[in-house]
Amino acid sequence: MQALFIGFSSVTWQDAIMYVVGLVLIWLAIKKEYEPMLLLPIGFGAILVNLPLAVAYEHEGQAGFLKILLEAGITTELFPLLIFVAIGAMCDFRPLFKMPVMIFFGAAAQFGIFATLLAAVALGFDLKTAAAIGIIGAADGPTAIYVASKFAREYLGPISVAAYSYMSLVPLIQPPVVRALTTRRERLIKMEYHEIQLPRSLMVVFPIVVTFVAGFVAPISVPLVGTLMFGNLIRECGVLERLSKAAQNELANIVTILLGITIGSTMRSRAFLQPATILIILMGLVAFVFDTAGGVLFAKFLNLFLKRKINPMIGACGISAFPMSARVIHKMAKQEDPFTVILMQAVGANVSGQVGSIIAGGMVLALVPLLVS
């Protein structure tokens, strides 16, 4: 008789909380449209894995489909890398090539990763876990998942949820930080933009050269850089339009579905309902704030030496959340002065943020193992 009601008798209050967490993520995805492509599958995966007996994950020693996906796609790091191929195929580096100086904002706005890493260690996390928490500041879901799956698989769920949630909250996070660090006069700075023609061969040669450079300078970053640049080469070569479209659409969509539900399956109540989860979520916000501050303050620093001043708001676009950050900053500039147009500069900085976040991820992957025995 008890076997008939085993579903009801085996549920715990922790499981019930996880149902609420899953439903909140689904609600945020549908009602608020916060990164719905990821938050909805993550929310549903979180519910599936916490249902009585967790049959979808594992039952009587047999792996369920969620565990199979986890082992095939996350343990092997395959899903985030396939997403990089898709992102590479979506990436247009032209705005960056037209204004190469914008690339430095892609570096400055990674400051939040390292500042948060330091803060996480100060709060008592070990270096590997702190690095995985800091990488939320990459504002780049696949990089966060890739690093977390290498350094802190037990926190993969909260790190992924934090990364994607804050990416969708960029319109709420960045404006107050930018306003706090800039004067109105600085926000009114106008920037010139000159349209220049780029040789098509540049678009083809760039991803190949960058892959070689990554391979020789930082071999550990090759999976990240190589897949991104492979996707970009498919896009730019001009003879693989079908593959480019497939990478941008079918590949991106299929892997996103599988990645999301698999991340959700790491949110088992016993592992997720810990004080560390709340700390991780809070530190993700700190990372985004420091990223934005790093970019803005770097722009202000450059202005000390430049004759033609840069609108320091551009610095905030150096994070990887593309194109959300560029749109947010352009909108802010328009609110200050309706005749200001800084969209191309903002997009250039935002694209360089995508490269910067991967380089930062590679740096963390290379440095941390050197220091941890």
Partner 1 sequence: MLARLLQSVQEGSEIQKALFVMVVGVLGVFGVLAFFFGLIHLLRRILKK
Chain positions contacting partner 1, by CB under 8 A: 96-97, 100-101, 103-104, 106-108, 110-111, 113-115, 117-118, 120-122, 126-127, 130-131, 198-199, 201-202, 205-206, 209-210, 213, 217-218, 352, 355-356, 359-360, 363-364, 367-368, 370-373
What's the Cα-to-Cα distance from 65 to each of 48, 73, 251, rounded to whole Å?
11, 12, 20
Helix 78-90 with 141-151: angle, nearest 10 deg: 160
Provide, rounded to whole angstroms, the least separation between the CB of residue 73 and partner 1.
28
Provide, rounded to whole angstroms, the least separation between the CB of residue 106 and partner 1.
6
Provide, rounded to whole angstroms, the least separation between the CB of residue 328 and partner 1.
22
Closer residue to partner 1 in complex, CB, 80/356: 356
**Environment class of residue 179 by beta-carbon count within 10 Å: exposed (0-12), middle (13-18) or buried (19+)?**
middle
Provide, rounded to whole angstroms, the least separation between the CB of residue 209 and partner 1.
6
**Is 256:83 a contact under the CB 8 Å cutoff?**
yes
Provide, rounded to whole angstroms, the least separation between the CB of residue 118 and partner 1.
5
Closer residue to partner 1 in complex, CB, 30/213: 213
Q: How many CB atoms lie within 10 A of CB 335?
A: 11
**Is 118:137 a contact under the CB 8 Å cutoff?**
no
* Residues paired with residue 58 on neighbouring β-strands, in sequence order: 63
Residue 197 CB contacts under 8 Å (≥ 6 apart), including other chains: none
Rounded distance between C-alpha atoms, residue 106 and residue 150, angstroms:
24
Closer residue to partner 1 in complex, CB, 110/311: 110
Closer residue to partner 1 in complex, CB, 255/368: 368
Closer residue to partner 1 in complex, CB, 107/285: 107
